[in-house]
Structure 1
Amino acid sequence: MTGAFMGPPWQMDWRLDALATRDALPEHVRKMVDEARAELVTAKDPYFRGIDADAGLPEAMSVEPVRSTDPKGSRILYFDTYKGWLVYTFKRRIEDPQIVVVEIFWQ
């Protein structure tokens, strides 16, 4: 390793309960989750910081902080026009930075 910060595509991991929830969703919803996953792992900045930082996402998706007082904390990615969401954190490390999905919901 050269010590330089790695960039996209990012690694992604799931908490076991979030993965079980994802696997229990209908097939068409799992496809939307996979599309959301693809957007996250290829994002230049998984925090989506700044004004309109998530403007490059498809219309049915958006990202915002879970808590506005914690700018480097968890994020929520809405998909299916706010019918579902993924809550994730980004572990920014020199070696093996990764996105960790901690919760998923769809209604």
Structure 2
Amino acid sequence: MTDDGFMGPPWQMDWTLKAQAARDTLPENVRKTVDAARTELVTAKDPYFRGIDADADLPDGMQVRPLESSRPKGPRILHFDNGHGWMTYTLIPRVEDPQIVVEEVFWQ
């Protein structure tokens, strides 16, 4: 718990059935990349990655941006594998139990 009373990292994470099924069908080396991206999300101080170069600490080949620029607190997209794949997710900012929900996983 942080000083302001909100829970902080590590964040809880849940996957929609569609996202989990998509992850499970990926080749093993790509699943490991998805798992590394998951680790980055659940340990991030701010999973929204707000601000200039806020995602600069992410490993090479990963980048986070808003899914829609008109919704700054809306869904995010995390690109991984140098843009060959992405995960869309939303942070549900509950005081007691905030959680990241992964809605889609894609890799090509």
Q: TM-score, normalised by structure 1?
A: 0.97
Which position in structure 2 is the counterpart of 1:88?
89
CA distance in 2: counterparts of 1:72 and 1:62, whole angstroms: 17
Amino acid of the residue matched to residue 89 of structure 2? Y
Q: Report matched runs for 1:33-48 at 5 Å.
A: 33-48=34-49
Amino acid of the residue matched to residue 64 of structure 1? R
Which position in structure 1 is the counterpart of 2:77?
76
Q: Deviations over 1:8-53 (max 9, x none)?
A: 0000000001100000100000000000000000000000000000
CA distance in 1: counterparts of 2:19 and 2:36, whole angstroms: 16
Which position in structure 1 is the counterpart of 2:15?
14
CA distance in 2: counterparts of 1:25 and 1:95, whole angstroms: 34
CA distance in 1: counterparts of 2:21 and 2:104, whole angstroms: 10
In structure 2, the gaps of 5 or more residues are: none
Equivalences, count: 106
- Cα distance, 1:59 vs. partner? 1.2
Structure 1 residue 28 and structure 2 residue 32: aligned? Answer: no
Point out 4+ residue stretches in structure 1 off by more than 3 angstroms: none
CA distance in 2: counterparts of 1:21 and 1:97, whole angstroms: 24
Superposed CA RMSD:
1.2
Amino acid of the residue matched to residue 105 of structure 1? F
CA distance in 2: counterparts of 1:59 and 1:34, whole angstroms: 15
Which position in structure 2 is the counterpart of 1:59?
60
Identity between Structure 1 and Structure 2 (%): 69
Residue 22 of structure 2 aligns to a residue in which SS?
helix
CA distance in 1: counterparts of 2:22 and 2:96, whole angstroms: 29
